[in-house]
Structure 1
Amino acid sequence: MNNDIKNIDNLICDVKSGKPLSFDSVYSLYFPLMQSAVAKCMKAYGISESEHDDLFQEAALALYKAALAYDNTKGVSFGLYAKICIQNRIISYIRSSSQKSDADDIPYDFYCDVPGSGTPEQLVISEESLGELNEKIDSSLTDFERSVFRLYLEDLSYQDIACVLSRPKKSVDNAIGRIKAKLRKLL
């Protein structure tokens, strides 16, 4: 595992230094991640197959920019960093192109696989009530709190969330406190 991380870090350094074909290797390694993010987005927003190439191009651009901006000293793996960058870029593209009027209603399951899916509790909850809950949560949180909440659902530590969002750890800690208080009121 450590060897894989070193190999990825070396590839990222090669991309940053402009070595030919280095991004091709990164692209090949993270091709499945890009496919998955595009497929999830298309399903979540009901986007037609004709938009697939545009979304995939956005994902590839996000991967390239993630490789250029990645800092391995921040304690976040490149895979997670790339996933977040790709998802955010796709969502920004959807918002800016106005392909769907309710693009602001981002389903939280787009950001992470729901732990314990298929459990009896989840079978009882209908999609309609889950959608209503997502809307209530989304409307009660600020943009920063939504970003923190999504990363928190990914099981990132407060420090990792702070690194990804380039904010102080104390801001993340305070945001999580506010999020918990708001969720208690909603539930």
Structure 2
Amino acid sequence: MEQIDVRLAKLARNGDRAAFAELVELYKEKIFHLAYRMLHNRHEAEEIVQETFLRVYTNLERYDENQKFSTWIYRIGTNLCIDRLRKRKPNYSLDAEMNDGEGTDWYAMLPSEDDTPDDQVILSETRNEIRKSIETLPEKYKTVVVLRYLQDLSLQEISEVLSLPITTIKTRLHRGREHLRKKMENIL
């Protein structure tokens, strides 16, 4: 049975605007979360979502229906994020948004199952430290860690999104985790 997103992509390719609008609805939040986790900037993440769908729309004829649509759109979004990261100035402060409220990490604000407020504060601080540590990862490790642990993609899907062998993905995940472990040992 054909995936719904593949069917929608075929319809959109043939000029069905409603089908394209459904694709946008299916993927806009996923692409936003991917972009926000990679760029840690709400405005830039919103721009990436728009640019991703613009590229999808203008390149629908290039989409290979034998490939998962999700892999294709994640590849486009990830590549746009990587391009944006490369264009940033080296002295860009990765937590510059923290004071204006837009950089709020909503995952860190999820209610805890812990009973005491102290436990909740410790958990929130730990999540913030993990998020900050992820931000310090070199780009190639950060991308893989975000796709695996924050977007919950499989190694195979990450391999397809980044057009890299699974062995490279495993290596980058391992090195990214080691980098995070060392960083967290110094903090906690």
For the residues of structure 2 that align with 1:155 and 1:149, how far apart are their CA atoms? 9
Residue 120 of structure 1 aligns with an amino acid whose one-letter code is: E
Counterpart check, 1:118 vs 2:111: yes
Unpaired runs of at least 5, structure 2: none
Instruction: Assess if the C-alpha contact under 8 Å between 2:8 and 2:22 holds in 1.
Output: no
**Count of residues paired in the alignment:** 165
Q: What TM-score, normalized to structure 1? A: 0.59
Q: Deviations over 1:91-110 (max 9, x none)?
A: 85698699xx5469899xx9
Unpaired runs of at least 5, structure 1: none
Q: What TM-score, normalized to structure 2? A: 0.59
- Cα displacement (A) at 1:87: 6.4
The residue number in structure 1 matching 2:76 is 85
Q: Deviations over 1:53-95 (max 9, x none)?
A: x666424314326745544545xx4246435634653785698
User: What do you get for the CA RMSD once the two structures are aligned?
Assistant: 4.5
Residue 160 of structure 1 aligns with an amino acid whose one-letter code is: E
The residue number in structure 2 matching 1:34 is 28
Matched ranges for 1:97-112 at <5 A: 102=93
Residue 176 of structure 2 aligns with an amino acid whose one-letter code is: I
Residue 124 of structure 1 aligns with an amino acid whose one-letter code is: V
Counterpart check, 1:8 vs 2:5: yes
Match for residue 162 of structure 1 among 147, 150, 159: 159
Seq. identity, %: 20
Instruction: Assess if the C-alpha contact under 8 Å between 1:12 and 1:68 holds in 2.
Output: no
Residue 156 of structure 2 aligns with an amino acid whose one-letter code is: Q
